Chain A
Amino acid sequence: MITFIVRRLLLTIPTLLVISLVIFLLLELAPGDPMAQVPLTVPPEVKEKMREALGLGQPVHVRYVKWLYQFFVVEPSLMIDWLTRDSFLLGWMPDTSLYNGDLRVISWQTRSPVMDIVVQRLPQTLWVVGMGYLFGVLIALPIGIYSAYRQYSIFDQVGTFVSMVGFSVPTFFTGVLLIVIFSVELGWFPSIYDTTLKVNSFESFLMQVRQMAMPVTVLALYNAAQISRFMRSSMLDNLNQDYVRTARAKGLSEKVVVLIHVLRNSMIPVVTVIALGVPQVFGGAIITEQVFKVNGLGQLLIGAIEANDLPMVQTLTFIFALLIVMFNLIADVLYGIIDPRIRYD
């Protein structure tokens, strides 16, 4: 298992390099110029200096390697310094000073380090997307299990239809629909997510819950629809197997047969699907964030694309890619851990 993980980790390095190169070269074709908004009265030699300050004006391969160095060496060293100095978890460790003042990845929009902005935006995305996914999984599993157990019953028919609808209706329509119903007509929930809200009392906590309700519902329904379909079909695969008949013949109760024997075997592919879905959810949440004006990573990306902020777009897109590769690895490892029949070596 350890050798498998190590081998798999080594394989991700070329994959990540290829992906980052693809993104870099794609952005290289961009027609935008970060100096476009600088007034015409600024003399050309000053502009040239500004260009150099932004890390431009060098050949493509030099900038690519520089970006790699900044992303994989400079930013992690800053991160480790922060972890050992200020963080709650690892603050007790001796302070490190790995960061030596190298130039970080700088956003063209704000002229501040990209990673600082990402860190500011991350909590909103994590809360909304994370809750949406968590609730989605929690709803999907029981529905999938019961649908499969009572195949072709009314519950199954309705459940299958609802999950088909949930899977087909795009999140930008469910989101808008919820806004029309619950904030325009009924006025229960705010339609805009207020990031400046500080949760320090019970009222502000209630406010936070209310503003999170709709985006989380939209994401939860969409994810639940997909996962419950997988859960149902995986349960159906197992329910007709011989070992289930054996378990029943031994006189085990239905509860034990279904919830222990069948469920454990059915969870194997579903856990992989859940792990593989996490990065997709981050990508898909771009739309939900846009609908509810949550200023998370998705909105940051769209703003950066519109403003032609290439370092930001490059870094964010690569972070999304990194998430996908990482969760692919996690899914593979989980598969090996929960299914003893899988032997990687």
Chain B
Amino acid sequence: MTDASSAPRNQWLDVWLQFKSHKGALVGGIVFALIVLTVFVGPWIWTIDPTHVEIRARNKPPSLSYPFGTDQLGRDMLARMMAGGRVSISVGLTAMALAITLGSSVGLLAGYFKRLDWPLMRLTEVFQSLPLLPLLLVMVTLFREPLAGAFGPEKGTFILIVGAIGVTSWMATARIVRGSVLALKEREFVLAARSIGTSDHKMILRHILPNVVSPIMVSATLGIAAAIITESALSFLGLGFPPDFPTWGRLLYDAVDYMQQYPSRVMWPGIAISLTVLSVNYLGDGLRDALDPRIRGR
């Protein structure tokens, strides 16, 4: 680090150095990358179909041909875990992307345009006062049938769950972004940009947005974890994806009935969810420390 001081320093290099020194974040990042890799690349190596029913090989304990054993219909647990992880992580990433887009837009508009501040912030407050889990449950039960009819059962449920999670989890991001924008608006470079006649549109995209990227990145990371937990919770309550379409939450829900005889079947999806969320949370913590020097080590 000492010899780098002679050369002009890159801001992102600093962030990387800070991030690297946070051991938990580094391990979290590596673990998350490994999980994503296993889940998305694994099916090319382990080519058993997760929905293939092998009724003669049901409830098998872990062995060489079935590393995680099989379930009550003889479906291979390893293949199902990878298929489930693919859905769970995709839901997490997409729902996070939706929530971040909504939240950043609301935050940017509310912070930048004084006229919009009051109505948008009241809207945010109303959304924050809504009981989210009950409403999610209601939304999923109400719209599952029509959406499944329109897009097919898998895609319909995916759109529904991603939409429902995205629409109910943008508020924290909006508040953080608004706060940062309000502070940025008073800075000299904004005044300078305005004095040369920069339009509002350019101002937001060129000057404000790049400066609020760090809080957005942090809440994006933490948002993935929250979305994965919410999806699993919905599936666990039996209100998520259809039964023949595995997700980690759904696998856990199905395994609970056989918990007494085959406790390991509960463990795999549970550990997968917990490990993913834990690694993402550590990643988010490390990013926050790296991007915001004031709160390092909290």
Contact = CB atoms under 8 A, between A and B. Distances in A.
Task: Decide if A and B are genuine partners.
Answer: yes
Interface centre among A23, A29, A172 (most CB of B within 10 A): A172
Interface in B132-172: 132-135, 137-139, 141-143, 145-146
A77 B143 CA distance: 36
A15 B126 contact: yes
Contact-size category for A: 35 or more
A321 B237 contact: no
A19 interface: yes
Contacts, number: 123
Task: Say whether chain A's binding surface is mostly helix, strand, loop, or mixed.
Answer: helix
Contacts of B138: 23, 26-27, 305, 313, 317
Interface string B221-241: 000010001001100110100
Interface stretch (B40-48, B110-118, B259-267): B259-267
Contacts of A176: 252, 256, 259, 266, 270
A146 interface: no
B146 A31 contact: yes
B259 A184 contact: yes
A151 B297 contact: yes
Contact of A173 (B24, B274, B297): B274
Nearest to A314: B138
Interface string B177-200: 000000000000000000000000
Contacts of B278: 164-165, 168-169
Interface stretch (A95-103, A204-212, A260-268, A283-291): A283-291
Interface of B: 24, 125-126, 128-135, 137-139, 141-143, 145-146, 225, 229, 232-233, 236-237, 239, 249, 252, 256, 259-260, 263, 266-267, 270, 273-274, 277-278, 281-282, 285, 295, 297-298
Given A151-B297, A152-B297, A302-B137, 14 more contacts: A26-B138, A169-B277, A170-B233, A179-B259, A180-B267, A232-B298, A236-B298, A279-B131, A283-B134, A301-B134, A301-B137, A321-B129, A321-B130, A324-B131
Interface of A: 15, 18-19, 22-23, 26-27, 29-31, 151-152, 161, 164-165, 167-170, 172-173, 176-177, 179-180, 184-185, 232-233, 236, 279, 283-284, 286-287, 290, 301-302, 305-306, 313, 316-317, 320-321, 323-325, 328
